[in-house]
């Protein structure tokens, strides 16, 4: 199904009036200004400095220069008609040396101004505490593999929520712990670039633990705050339906989805995967699992694509392989496009875990945008991706799933981690040479949708 210009098949009025409409960004991907106002080095600064780690050899040193342009960027968000904006705080701006008794006030002030700027523009601030930019100084002491990092995170969460808690009512502890743990410490293609399964599992445990242990301070500092975590979740299908592939799919789902959802919802780590991890299982201390299961107010779901899984004896720790199935629709990045996958995923999460509230904290697509002669970016595919996923959200809500908000990834084209600037996800185009912003067709569609306008009719 394609959305045409004359066809707003979905309207804002189809959703509750208090539905949150946002865009998401993250600090390292947009801010730049890595040496300013006392910011310390992050693991991404270090990782990008090693040739070969980033596809185009770039880094987030300048990125979207958002640190200097935040006012006009927030104006873009307001002009879209958003009522919420999800951003992340750079830990190395707050504790440049990782640990230490005193936070860097200039770092805190930046976020204080940013939050005020959101409130002035009618944007509800949604703060993510950890979107992958660990202070390098903590990595030098073992990073998330070291249990002391959990205590440092709690201190950081305490300081930030004390400073912003009077104005920020929505808190996300971690963005996509799967990526932190497994892309960063097993696949090694993200910072800190470690390739070790056992380390990844321990990192994962500490990240989840830090989520739970930070919640009481956030609640104390930000009365009435609603706290959650954003997970990257995927629906799965087996490559062939054979018993081997079905079993492999269950294992893959076990590490991708259940390894996070089960402990967060009080069930501990899934026994089938724990067993398969053998000697690599993480050290879990008394009380850890209770802490991880600390009650939250919402579950953040970052959804991009489904995965097709095959049995792969001898391959990887769980003997599974994600295959690139033929004849499916894909973005230019190669990610499968499947709005129905989002519905299936939400149904499964709602049925198996019963979260009180689900927020789609990220969803979006990367295409090779071209600028037309008259300077417009006609990203029809991204517009259709957005519209089709909103239809999916509407359908999920109609099935009784408590989705209460949707945040498009992303407000701006930005630094896409190991892909550098080669992948554009924004509803706003950024010319990285001039820092000029220009709303794409997808952004115009989102704006018209949010303003209840019928476009193209
Ligand atoms: C998610 C990340 C986000 C961005 C999108 C495309 O996994 O949370 O920072 O890179 O993918």
The mean pLDDT of 220-246, rounded to a whole number, is 97
CA distances from 97 to 53, 104, 136, 139 (A): 24, 10, 8, 11
CB 350 within 8 A of CB 358: yes
Assign 127 a pLDDT band (cuts: 50, 70, 90): very high
The mean pLDDT of 72-77, rounded to a whole number, is 98
Atom of ligand 1 nearest to the CA of 425: 6
The fourth-level CATH superfamily of domain 12-450 is Glycosidases (3.20.20.80)
pTM (2 d.p.): 0.97
The mean pLDDT of 128-157, rounded to a whole number, is 98
Which positions ≥6 away from 324 have C-beta within 8 Å? 308, 334
Assign 4 a pLDDT band (cuts: 50, 70, 90): low
Which positions ≥6 away from 382 have C-beta within 8 Å? 364, 365, 367, 369, 427, 440, 441, 442
The mean pLDDT of 14-22, rounded to a whole number, is 97
Q: Whose CA is nearest to atom 9 of ligand 1?
A: 26
Which positions ≥6 away from 315 have C-beta within 8 Å? 321
- How much distance in Å is there from the Cα of 282 to the middle of ligand 1? 26
pLDDT tens for 320-370 read 999 998 889 999 999 999 999 999 999 999 999 999 999 999 999 999 999
* Residue 453, pLDDT above cutoff 70: no
- How much distance in Å is there from the Cα of 275 to the middle of ligand 1? 30
Q: Which residues are identified as catalytic?
A: 176, 362
pLDDT at residue 1, rounded to an integer: 41
pLDDT at residue 85, rounded to an integer: 98
pLDDT at residue 378, rounded to an integer: 97
Q: Quick one: DSSP state of residue 147? A: T
Q: Whose CA is nearest to atom 4 of ligand 1?
A: 416
The Cα 118–Cα 122 span in angstroms is 6
Boundaries of every domain in the chain: 12-450
* Residue 81, pLDDT above cutoff 80: yes
* Residue 2, pLDDT above cutoff 90: no
> Among candidates 49, 40, 321, 27, which has minimal Cα distance to 193?
49
Assign 233 a pLDDT band (cuts: 50, 70, 90): very high
- CA atoms within 13 A of residue 160's CA, in its CB half-sphere: 30
From the CB of residue 194, how many other CB atoms can be counted at a distance below 10 Å?
Answer: 18
* Residue 183, pLDDT above cutoff 80: yes
Phi, psi dihedrals of residue 416, rounded to the nearest 5°: -95, 65
* Residue 38, pLDDT above cutoff 60: yes
pLDDT at residue 101, rounded to an integer: 82
The Cα 79–Cα 434 span in angstroms is 22
> Among candidates 62, 117, 102, 25, which has minimal Cα distance to 431?
62
Assign 99 a pLDDT band (cuts: 50, 70, 90): confident
């Amino acid at each position: 199904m394609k959305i045409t210009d004359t066809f707003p098949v979905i309207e804002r009025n189809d959703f509750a009036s208090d539905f949150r409409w946002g865009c998401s960004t993250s600090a390292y991907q947009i801010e730049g200004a890595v040496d300013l106002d006392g910011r310390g080095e992050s693991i991404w600064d270090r990782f990008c400095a090693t040739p070969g780690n980033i596809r185009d050899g770039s880094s987030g040193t300048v990125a979207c220069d958002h640190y200097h342009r935040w006012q006009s960027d927030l104006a873009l968000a307001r002009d879209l008609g958003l009522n919420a904006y999800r951003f992340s705080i750079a830990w190395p701006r707050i504790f440049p040396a990782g640990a230490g008794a005193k936070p860097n006030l200039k770092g805190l002030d930046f976020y204080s101004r940013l939050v005020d700027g959101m409130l002035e523009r009618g944007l509800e601030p949604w703060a993510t505490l950890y979107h992958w930019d660990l202070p390098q100084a903590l990595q030098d002491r073992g990073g998330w593999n070291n249990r002391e990092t959990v205590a440092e995170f709690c201190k950081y969460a305490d300081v930030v929520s004390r400073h912003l808690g009077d104005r920020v009512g929505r808190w996300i502890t971690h963005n996509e712990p799967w990526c932190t743990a497994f892309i960063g410490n097993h696949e090694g293609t993200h910072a800190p670039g470690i390739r070790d399964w056992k380390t990844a599992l321990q990192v994962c445990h500490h990240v989840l633990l830090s989520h739970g242990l930070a919640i009481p301070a956030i609640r104390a500092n930000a009365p009435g705050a609603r706290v959650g975590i954003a997970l990257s979740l995927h629906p799965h299908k087996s490559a062939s339906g054979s018993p081997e592939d079905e079993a492999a799919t269950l294992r893959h789902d076990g590490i991708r989805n259940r390894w996070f959802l089960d402990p967060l919802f009080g069930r501990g780590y899934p026994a089938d995967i724990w067993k398969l991890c053998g000697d690599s299982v993480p050290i879990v201390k008394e009380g850890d699992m209770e802490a991880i299961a600390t009650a939250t107010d919402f579950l953040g779901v970052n959804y991009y694509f489904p995965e097709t899984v095959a049995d792969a004896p001898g391959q990887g720790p769980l003997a599974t392989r994600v295959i690139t199935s033929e004849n499916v629709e894909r973005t230019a990045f190669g990610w499968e496009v499947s709005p129905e996958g989002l519905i299936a995923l939400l149904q499964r999460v709602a049925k198996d875990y019963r979260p009180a509230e689900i927020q789609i904290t990220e969803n979006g697509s990367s295409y090779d945008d071209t600028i037309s002669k008259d300077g417009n970016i006609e990203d029809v595919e991204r517009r259709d991706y957005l519209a089709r996923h909103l239809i999916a959200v509407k359908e999920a809500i109609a099935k009784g799933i408590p989705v209460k908000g949707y945040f498009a990834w992303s407000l701006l084209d930005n630094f896409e981690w190991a892909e550098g600037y080669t992948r554009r996800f924004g509803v706003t185009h950024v010319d990285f040479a001039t820092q000029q912003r220009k709303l794409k067709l997808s952004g115009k569609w989102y704006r018209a949708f949010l303003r209840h306008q019928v476009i193209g009719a």
